[in-house]
Amino acid sequence: MTAKYGFYYEEGHDDLLFMDQTSVKLIIERLSSPPTPFVLYSLNQFRQNIDKYQNELHKLAPIRGRLSYSMKANYNPRLLTILKSAKAMLTTVSGGEMQLALSAGFEPSSIIYNGNGKTDESIQMAIDSGVLLNVDSLFDLEVILHYARQLNKIANVLIRVNPNLSDSNVHAYNVTASKTSKFGTNIDELEPIYKLIEQNDDKWIRLFGFHCHLGSTISNTQIISGCVKKLIELFNTKRFPHLRILNIGGGLNIDYKRYAKRTKNDDEEHIAIPTIGDYIQSIKDSIESFPHSIELVVEPGRSLIANSCVLITRVLGQKQTGSIRQLIVDASMTECIRPALYQAYHHIDTVNSLSTEERILFDIVGPVCESGDFLGKQRCLPKILKRGDFLAVFDVGAYCSSMSSNYNMRPRPAEYALDEQEQIQILKKRETNEDLLRTYCVA
């Protein structure tokens, strides 16, 4: 029998929530009244997601396909160890992420540094270490050239291209390739960048390819195909002898609502989510007739890590406010900001077996002093929920821990996983109030 990985409800075990082969209820008991909220990782699920991508990328042969994890989704160092073992690349968007990638032992040639506003220090670090830089704009290129001359080193670069495409199902804050995006250079305005590179080619700079990112939560493979076709045309130029890398970014969505049928809370419209196979096939269809040698890079973050984590929170109480029944929990927008920031859906359900109990609609809200502090609205949960009961907020692996904050002076939560012997590993300690004050200079 094949082992189950990730998070699932096991009907043969009183409908308890399981992580891999262990019930979450048992994990909580082993932690012995842990401070909540806290995060649980299924590292097996993360490994499985990596394997799915790499297996599909192998199907691109003879084109070389490479997986580059987008660190901004979640930069827990334990994840980087797994990615390094899988020979994945890393895409970074800050000097801090780049420094962490280098200190984790990744080869500089396996690290991409992306950003529309790079600092002087981070540009120098990238050039000095040999990290691959994304050129976002003409001014960005000018600064990169300045420091390449100063360091007497060649900067290895891609050009971030804006193809003026977008998926209509993507939240406006996640759109990164429309005509007015702050990222990249419009595809029809590349000539000034080309000319400056030509003037310095093989002396201070080498252009290895092109990069694009269509935005997060992509659900339309036709958009991906259109992007690849536009970028492929750029490789026909004879002006740059080192061209070989086509980096199409990431952004594949996951099905955040796959558990909704459990709670009969399935009223919202569902969007069909392409599989990883669909995603890679749409790329293959667009490049298989291309006559030149290409190294293709994809940069998923969300679809690698999101479904590998849940946030465990305790119920504080419930109250009626007008026509709304509110369930107050101790997790908040400081641990999971996506519902408040993007109006995003995260499934929320019980950890223990309460499946036979009457369910009613709740707005699930946190204790932060903001009216926008909610985790879910109008969700079906057991009517009998009381203070101290545990709930799980699903699919928080991406853009939750990395976007967490100390607003309202709230310590960021502990993060746990299970090792191969199903023993608890601490991936990150819970912050203390003393941690929050350590950097202040008190007179």
The yes-or-no answer on residue 441 being catalytic is: no
Query: Pairing relation of β-strands 111-113 and 132-135?
Result: parallel
Whether 5 and 44 have beta carbons less than 8 Å apart is answered as yes
* pLDDT score, position 289: 72
- The domains located in the chain, with CATH, are 7-42+307-437 (2.40.37.10), 43-301 (3.20.20.10)
Question: Which entry of 212, 227, 336, 369 is annotated as an active-site residue?
Answer: 369
CA distance 427 to 79: 9
At 317-374, the pLDDT tens digits run 999 999 999 999 999 999 999 999 999 999 999 998 666 678 999 999 999 999 999 9
Q: Of 251, 245, 235, which is closest to residue 289 (Cα–Cα)? A: 235
For residue 62, is the peptide bond before it cis, meaning its omega torsion is within 30 degrees of 0?
yes
Q: Tell whether the torsion through CA atoms of 145, 147, 149 and 154 is positive or negative.
A: negative
Q: Tell whether the torsion through CA atoms of 179, 181, 186 and 192 is positive or negative.
A: positive
Task: Count the helix, strand and coil residues of the chain and give each as a percent rounded to the nearest 5.
Answer: 30, 25, 45
* pLDDT score, position 348: 96
Across-strand partners of 311?
39, 393
* pLDDT score, position 165: 72
Q: Of 153, 83, 174, 157, which is closest to residue 118 (Cα–Cα)? A: 157
At 162-220, the pLDDT tens digits run 887 754 455 454 454 455 677 889 888 999 999 999 999 889 999 999 999 887 677 88
* pLDDT score, position 417: 97
pTM above 0.85, yes or no: yes
Residue ranges in the chain modelled with pLDDT below 70 = 1-2, 12-14, 166-180, 216, 261-271, 291, 353-356
